[in-house]
Structure 1
Amino acid sequence: MGTLVVVTLLATAAPGEAAGLSRDPVAVIYDRDHALHVLDGGATDDELTLRTQTLASSAWAFFRGTSPLYYRDLGELPASAYATAGGDVWLTGDAHLENTGADRGADNEEQFAVTDTDDAWRGSWTWELRREAVSIVLAGRADGRSASQIAADVDTFVAEYAQWIAKFHGTNDEATWRLTSSNTSDLVGDLIDDSAGDKRADLIAKWTTGGHFKDDPQLQAVPAATRTQLVNAVAAYRTTAGKPLKASEAVVKDVRRRTGAGTGSLGRFRWYVLVEGDTTANSDDRILELKQQVDPAPKQLAPNATTLTGGQRPALALRWLANQSDPLAGWASVGSTPVLVKEKSPFAEDLKIGDLTTSAIWDDTVRDVGRLLAAAHSRADQDIAGTGLAYSADAAIDGAITSVSGLQAETRAFATSYADQVTSDWQAYVTAKNSGRPLF
């Protein structure tokens, strides 16, 4: 593994602050990525190579792509003073600003929502609150915001989260609440407006022609055996979708392996499958995305929190965590590879941190993200069958937040310190890459 790189956070810290952490971050990432190299028999090494380049590109990209390192570290760092035994909830698992965006809801109304549940798992709400706060610090630094501005952004985010948890406590409003054009503004409102203007035909024209995928370096042809496995996977998947597809809507017209997409998921198989739409016209075809699933990052902290596995776990979590989420989300296996199946949405407009250009936009956006997280944590509990939670998640969290100002101070300190750690880890990764050290 080479020379041990020891990275230490603060020598002493108050409860919840990062302290006494030492490990070789490159080795931790190597172990995870090497396991994927072995699991896929080297077939995704092109993506793993791209992953090393992406992780080395910036501290922000490094953080986005290393959620397993974050959860590994949480296992050593002091727990939040506001964490409660038995207060575990369903988490998106990989909370950060760019895992939110606008899309068309299942009822055909555009909304702003969480977009990624690949790492969904049950655990402490504080794990996710902290991760989102770290993302705010790193994104703020990337955008050139001052330390005082970033601290204010984190405080605003935490206060908004706590306020909406309190609102949802005892009302059950989280079951129907969501962010739409009627209750948001600035960047999020613009994303929703952009989503409303998107057309399915435009996405189909971008990727396909004449009922087949176009020649594109990001769309690779697959062997005949893989095509057969994909056809079988779609046939098995269609009845698992929230809105099951009819057999006529699951007719496979073409398949490709999609490369170059994502950050944390780089190195996993991802396939696009073109299926027949509502009519035989090519313009209303659908593109299904089948993404390989592995153990989610938070599982290492709570290995027995749920028995859900494979693509079923993130598909069900998406339904539970986001109101009016993708009705086509479901699951299957491509051969022995478990996959989450979702539509490649024609209406998706992802939030990008480079679009956070003013303090007013930052303020509105972190408020909206705080609301989304509060609603997600509040939804997936005793009110929805199958979650495994026999209590009110919002009541448990609200009871745990005994001091909003205390939670703000603790989260701010953790996020600032851990963002420093991420930057140091990223620099160690860049050094390892430049020295030719094996990274997967």
Structure 2
Amino acid sequence: MSAGALIIAMGSIVPVGPAEAALSRDPVAVIYQRDHALHTLNNGATDDDLLTRTEVLASSPWAFFRGTSPLYYRDLAELPASAYATAGGDVWITGDAHLENTGADRGADNVEQFALTDTDDAWRGSWTWELRREAVSIVLAGRRNGRSASQIATDVNTLVSEYAQWIGKFHGNDDEAGFRLTAGNTSDLTADLIAKSDDDKRADLLAKWTTLTGSTRTFKADPQLQTVSASTRSAVAAAVAAYRTTAQDPLSASEAVVKDVRRRLGAGAGSLGRFRWYALIEGDGAGTSDDRILELKQQVDPAPKPLAPGATTLSGGQRPALALRWLVDESDPLAGWASVGGVPVLVKEKSPFAEDLSTDDLTTSAIWDDSVRDIGRLLAAAHSRADKDIAGTGVAYSADAAIDNAITSVSGLQAETRGFATGYADQVTGDWQSYVTAKNNGVPLF
């Protein structure tokens, strides 16, 4: 039977091929279980965002995939492992690889770069989990953008070959430690994003989210910014004070004075339903032009954890903060962790210079090619960085050597990844249809 053949099982469309089997789950039930757990954990306080999440997931197969990484990893536990998975070893992965989890931003050294942007699901596991997930995102985004099957196959092949090539380049040296994509070594869309990041101003971000009355800056009235109680404001302020010393470049006590707090609504896809607070802080001086916005995002167990539950003991906001530091060169120096009351949070600056990649901007084959190549390089560098060369990772060997030795055939890895990505993209589309049907029929979704 071909990789694209379909059967009906458990109310959803399931791709079956030589390397795949029918999945024994109801996707709606799996998503309900995760989202209901958030409803329960947060005592219903984030149900407004969980309701928004149902709309986002129902909007398209692409949005559904972006927002359901736990379903993907649950399925990996049933599907055959890659023939190229590193035997006896694992590496740090971002956990939620997809095209739009990349973007341009100003690095810690004030140089704009194109980088991986999301480590909420970071965990230790097989590099093949991440490569496959990125490939599925290419298939789904390509279909959404009207690319042909042959064009999409070429894009996936390019991702795999670029990844393998750069893993080979990093094997036997420490070049991955300083690897980054800047204006000097990229082109097309990623270069445009870097240029936009370079043009961005702190004043523009402050104007978007805050208002200045005399010498007092506060958050503005906005449907996406919910006022908080005095107790929540105090808890956020206490979290900011406790967080300071966890950052790679800690803020001073005066820089971290909290001026205002709001709960941010409607942001993200996979993280909708988690608490997300914005804290307006003093910044470098006593004036208002250098004020900063910190984002404090609730952390839960990452999606890959059930596949390797004992891979690391890092938890809460510490896990994604350290993973960002390890996986991305010159990453946000203010990334750290704390707890708001009993809610563990990742703390990052809401960067004035961030320019996220949007799949809507992948408009030509040339742009697709360059963007996929750049993302393949970023994944290769990330997986290679967080190993024996960095204290605390728990990886006691050379990750790039292990991966390079495992890739015994690039063409074989390409064929395997293409087959998986195409079949699983069909699976996602069927699961999305099941979710939409359930939503339309009034089935409880959280």
The TM-score bracket by the shorter chain reads over 0.9
Q: Is residue 228 of structure 2 the alignment partner of residue 232 of structure 1?
A: no
Matched, 1:365 2:367: no
User: Do the aligned partners of 1:89 and 1:125 also contact (CA within 8 Å) in 2?
Assistant: yes
2:135 corresponds to 1:133: yes
1:376 aligns with 2:382: yes
C-alpha separation in 2, matches of 1:135 and 1:349:
19
- SS of the equivalent of 1:354 reads helix
The CA deviation at 1:284 is 0.8
Once the two structures are overlaid, the 10-residue window that deviates more, 77-86 or 160-169, is 77-86
Cα distance between partner residues in 1 of 2:434 and 2:396: 44
Report the Cα distance in structure 2 between the residues aligned to 1:416 and 1:230, rounded to whole angstroms.
44
3-state DSSP of counterpart to 2:348: strand
- Of the candidates 420, 437, 440, which is equivalent to residue 443 of structure 2? 437
* Superposed CA offset, 1:298-335 (max 9, x none): 00100000000000000000000000000000000000
**Is the CA contact (8 Å cut-off) linking 2:14 and 2:430 kept in structure 1?**
no
C-alpha separation between the residues in 2 aligned to 1:20 and 1:423?
15
Taking the aligned partners of 2:11 and 2:438, their CA distance within structure 1 comes to: 13
- Any gaps of 5 or more consecutive residues in structure 1? none
Give the TM-score normalised by structure 1. Answer: 0.98
What is the match of residue 41 of structure 1?
Answer: 43
Contact 1:238 1:250 in 2 (8 A): yes
* Preserved contact between residue 101 and residue 348 of structure 1 (Cα < 8 Å): yes
Aligned-residue Cα RMSD (Å) equals 0.9
| 5+ long unaligned stretches in structure 2 | 1-8
1:207 aligns with 209
CA contact (8 A) 2:11 2:434 kept: no
Letter in 1 for 2:47: D
2:146 alignment partner in structure 1: 144
Is the contact between residue 93 and residue 130 of structure 2 (CA under 8 Å) also seen in structure 1?
Answer: yes
CA contact (8 A) 1:95 1:132 kept: yes
* Residue number in structure 1 paired with 2:14: 9
Which of 152, 155, 160 is the equivalent residue of 1:153?
155
1:191 counterpart = 2:193: yes
1:23, distance to aligned residue in structure 2 (A): 1.2
Q: Contact 1:310/1:339 (CA < 8 Å) preserved in 2?
A: yes
User: What is the rounded CA distance, in whole Å, between the counterparts of 1:329 and 1:11 in structure 2?
Assistant: 42
Q: CA contact under 8 A between 1:9 and 1:18: conserved in structure 2?
A: no
Identity in percent: 79
Question: 1:312 touches 1:330 (CA, 8 Å); kept in 2?
Answer: yes
Q: State the SS of the aligned residue for 2:279.
A: strand
Instruction: Tell me the SS of whatever aligns to 1:29.
Output: helix
Q: Which residue of 2 aligns with 1:320?
A: 326
Find 1:280's aligned residue among 273, 276, 286: 286
Structure-to-structure mapping, 1:412-431, within 5 angstroms: 412-431=418-437
The count of residues paired between Structure 1 and Structure 2 equals 434
Instruction: Name the SS for the 1:284 alignment partner.
Output: coil
Give distance in 1, aligned partners of 2:14 and 2:38.
29
Deviation per residue, 1:251-273 (Å, 9 max, x gap): 00000000011110000000000
Structure 1 letter corresponding to 2:82:
S
**Which aligned pairs between 1:23-34 and structure 2 lie closer than 5 A?**
23-34=25-36
SS in 2 for 1:289: strand
Tell me which of 97, 107, 121 is aligned to 2:99: 97
**Within 5 Å, which residues of 2 pair with 1:166-177?**
166-177=168-179
SS at match of 1:341: strand
Q: Distance in 2 between matches of 1:209 and 1:185?
A: 37
Q: What letter corresponds to residue 145 of structure 1 in structure 2?
A: R
Letter of the 1:139 partner, please give it: A
Provide the rounded CA distance (Å) in 1 between the counterparts of 2:339 and 2:168: 40
CA 56–8 in structure 1, closer or farther in 2 if over 3 Å, else same = closer
Q: Measure how far apart 1:397 and its partner are.
A: 0.1
- Aligned AA (1:173): D
Greater Cα shift, 31-40 or 84-93: 84-93
- Shift of the alpha carbon at 1:19? 2.2
Give, in whole Å, the separation in 1 of the partners of 2:221 and 2:117. 28
Displacement, 1:281? Answer: 1.5
Q: 1:339 aligns with which of 340, 345, 350?
A: 345
Cα deviations by residue, 1:188-229 (Å, 9 ceiling, x for unpaired) = 000000000000111011111121000111001101110110
TM-score with structure 2 setting the length: 0.96
C-alpha distance in 2, partners of 1:12/1:401?
22
Offset at residue 12 of structure 1 (A) = 4.1
Task: Decide whether the 8 Å contact of 2:200 with 2:352 is kept in 1.
Answer: yes
- Aligned mates of 1:146, 1:181 — CA distance in 2: 31
The answer to whether the aligner puts 1:247 opposite 2:253 as a matched pair is yes
Structure 2 counterpart SS, 1:90 = strand
**Aligned twin of 1:304:** 310
Equivalent-residue separation in structure 1 for 2:403 and 2:89 (angstroms): 7
Q: Distance in 2 between matches of 1:18 and 1:273?
A: 47
User: Comparing 79-88 with 305-314, which one deviates more in the overlay?
Assistant: 79-88
CA drift of 1:291 comes to 0.1
CA apart distance, 1:365: 0.3
Q: Is the 8 A contact 2:13 2:431 kept in 1?
A: no
Paired letter, 2:92: W
Query: Moved runs in structure 1, 4+ residues, more than 6 A?
Result: none
Distance 2:113 2:16 in 1: 44
